Amino acid sequence: MTNEYKSFAMELLQRRREHPTKLPVKSITHTFIKDLLQLLFPHYNEQQYFNEDEIISKINLLKRNFKLILLSLNNGIENHIEFISDNFFKQFPQIHDMLWKDAQAIYHGDPASKSIDEVILAYPGFLAIAIYRLAHELHKLHVQIIPRIFTEYAHQITGIDIHPGALIGASFFIDHGTGIVIGETSVIGDNVKIYQGVTLGALSVDKSLANIKRHPTIENNVIIYSNAVILGGETVIGENSIIGGNTWITKSIPPDSIVFNKNEIVLKNEKTKNEFYDFVI
């Protein structure tokens, strides 16, 4: 039995030498995300802060933990860790402000929402946006892998897939959210509202297009209803437009447009009630 696994064990050992990590990066990054959310929002707190010094101590602890995560990746950024960490945490006031605007947009835009506290605690759309905004700051600092672990964690627990490279403006509202996909080079303006199942995707997934804008631009004050698919890097949805559900768009839409599918509904009547219907499932 021992010899049966010897060659496989040798292969695994070689892989570990080629791709060493000092820490279990994925699990500690998930914990780090939760700690960041607890810092930014009292709704997630597992500990209370009674003065500014306690909060500052917590920030310093998080910075230390973040540096350890970066070091564990062994991806050549060892000489830039202080710069990355300092600049990431310097953005927290701005991130915090943006997220409160997102929460307010959801609260004011959803008749079912009773309070901003409910939005922060219970809305998967807000959680996905919060994690995206943190991941996006790391993406801007050219940190590899970690931003994707952030947004894939959000994807895992909310069903909302936002690439950290996407550019998303203020007061972003995701309603329900399950099944939403927002691609890497998507650009979304201010006061945009997106419903479940929406895809902002690429017309082609050829690897040679990696450094080209492949995903659409959504201008300010656009509403995109459920299961709409908008594709292509040159596709622009003009401001103040409404995109109806189940639409498929690969060309630009001018501002102030309404796009929808015209569905025909045939009602069963006396003439057809005895006809045979073959529903293939």
The encoded tokens of residue 141 equal: 């600092």
Residue with tokens 């950290």: 164
Residues of the chain under the 70 pLDDT cut: 1-2, 74-75, 266, 268-281
Half-sphere exposure of 27 (CA within 13 A, CB side): 4
Give a yes or no: residue 280 inside a domain: no
Residue-wise pLDDT tens digits, 198-209: 999 999 877 777
Based on the domain organization, do 179 and 150 belong to the same domain? no
Q: In the prediction, which pLDDT does 277 show?
A: 45
Give a yes or no: residue 3 inside a domain: no
Based on the domain organization, do 170 and 155 belong to the same domain? no
Q: In the prediction, which pLDDT does 276 show?
A: 45
Based on the domain organization, do 155 and 30 belong to the same domain? yes
Within 159-246, where are the H helices? Answer: none
Please give the tally of structural domains in the chain.
2
Range of the domain at 244: 166-259
Residues in contact with 55: Cβ distance below 8 Å, sequence separation at least 6, in sequence order = 39, 49
Any idea what the CATH number is for the domain that residue 240 is in? Answer: 2.160.10.10
Query: DSSP secondary structure string, 197-221?
Result: T-EEE-S---GGGTTS--S-EE-TT
**Is the Cβ–Cβ distance between 86 and 35 less than 8 Å?**
no
Residue-wise pLDDT tens digits, 114-160: 999 999 999 999 999 999 999 999 999 999 899 999 999 999 999 99
Q: In the prediction, which pLDDT does 53 show?
A: 93
Give a yes or no: residue 265 inside a domain: no
Q: In the prediction, which pLDDT does 268 show?
A: 66
Based on the domain organization, do 121 and 250 belong to the same domain? no
Based on the domain organization, do 55 and 187 belong to the same domain? no
Predicted TM-score (pTM) of this structure:
0.88
